[in-house]
Amino acid sequence: MNAANKKINFYFWAQLITYHLSLITQKMRQQIVAGNWKMNKTLDEGTELIKSVLEKLEQRPRGPVVFATPFPFLLAAAKILKVRKGFYLAAQNCHHEEKGAYTGEVSVDMLSSVGAEYVIIGHSERRQYFKETNEQLAKKVNLALGKGLLPIFCCGEPLDIREKGTHVGYVAKQLKASLFHLPTAEFRKVVIAYEPIWAIGTGRTASTEQAQEMHAAIRVLLAKKYGKDVADGTSILYGGSCNAQNAPDLFRQPDVDGGLIGGASLKADDFVAIVNAMK
Ligand code: 13P
């Protein structure tokens, strides 16, 4: 083999190895379906719902399925879920301080001690009714990651912002304020949920074009901050009147990686249909 051929050979193998290494290190994003029960169900109703979903889903779902139950059901839900692969438990909130004199609050340590793996942070209902600020949400994200819980971080604009056409900038501000302080390795663990407030519980879902436009814009923002690999590896869920009928179209959008489901997660058949809509 002459010197020129040797050189070509060397570059060929070097490129092949680099390509395969990048496949290994690149986190391919996954579709996720998470049910946020909000303040619904009793313990018996909740455990029945989970059992019924598990029964109806005979095959392993294409991506993680997460149940965000109210705090008092977490332990019971964890016991049912731990025997089935692909199913995870989330809390709907956590406190922004590690521990202490915060009567009635629940810490990240408590959540992980009862088996929660994810925690929803920054849901619009928490921002609106409990006046949670971007700074508090940033603290919650830090605490969750520090204790090994994966944040499902919610963002989304109210109707007047959507009507003014400034929704992309509004959501960008929320993400920058509560997530962009994270180093890359930590940011990779975050799941984002885009939930336009005007679509939550209203039966008025975002159109597939509206969802795709915002999800793509979020991904561009992530790419600018963390690079394309990280942006491509981040799951961005859609939430807001997502149901068994519209989930397949929404999930087919290139930048929609599953959903955060409210009302439709309370009925086993509906939730199972949405889980089955994952691509
Ligand atoms: P709905 O699916 O009931 O609109 O709720 C969405 C939501 O807020 C999930 O977190």
- What are the pLDDT digits (tens) for 173-216? 999 999 999 999 999 999 999 999 999 989 888 999 999 999 99
Q: Determine, yes or no, domain membership for 23.
A: no
Q: Determine, yes or no, domain membership for 245.
A: yes
Q: What is the domain range of residue 73? A: 28-276
Q: Determine, yes or no, domain membership for 102.
A: yes
If one residue of 36, 191, 197 were mutated to test the ligand 1 pocket, choosing by the most ligand atoms within 8 A of its CB, it would be 36
Q: How many domains does the chain have?
A: 1
Backbone angles phi, psi at 257, to 5 degrees: -110, 45
Residue 242 CB–ligand 1 contact under 6 Å: yes
Nearest to 56 by CA among 232, 267, 242: 267
Q: What is the pLDDT of residues 223-276, one digit of tens each?
A: 999 999 999 999 999 999 999 999 999 999 999 999 999 999 999 999 999 999
205 C-alpha vs ligand 1 centroid, how far in Å? 10
161 C-alpha vs ligand 1 centroid, how far in Å? 19
CB atoms under 10 Å from CB of 171, counted, come to 21
Q: What is the pLDDT of residues 21-56, one digit of tens each?
A: 444 444 578 999 999 999 999 999 999 999 999 999
What is the C-alpha separation between 203 and 181, in angstroms, rounded? 35
Nearest residue (CA) to ligand 1, atom 1: 262
263 C-alpha vs ligand 1 centroid, how far in Å? 6
In this prediction, residue 203 carries a pLDDT of 86
Q: Determine, yes or no, domain membership for 147.
A: yes
Percentages helix, strand, coil for the chain, rounded to the nearest 5? 50, 15, 35
54 C-alpha vs ligand 1 centroid, how far in Å? 21
Residue 241 CB–ligand 1 contact under 6 Å: yes
Q: Determine, yes or no, domain membership for 88.
A: yes
pTM of the predicted structure, to 2 decimals = 0.91
Q: Determine, yes or no, domain membership for 153.
A: yes
Q: Determine, yes or no, domain membership for 175.
A: yes
In this prediction, residue 207 carries a pLDDT of 95
What are residue 120's DSSP bridge partners?
152
Residues contacting residue 78 through CB under 8 Å, at least 6 positions apart:
89, 114, 115, 116
In this prediction, residue 10 carries a pLDDT of 57
DSSP 66: E
**Contact indicator for 31, 242 with CB cutoff of 8 Å:** no
Residue 46 CB–ligand 1 contact under 6 Å: no
Q: What is the CATH number of the domain that holds 168?
A: 3.20.20.70
Residue 261 CB–ligand 1 contact under 6 Å: yes
Residue 259 CB–ligand 1 contact under 6 Å: no
Q: Determine, yes or no, domain membership for 18.
A: no
Give the residue numbers marked as catalytic. Answer: 123, 195
Residue 195 CB–ligand 1 contact under 6 Å: yes
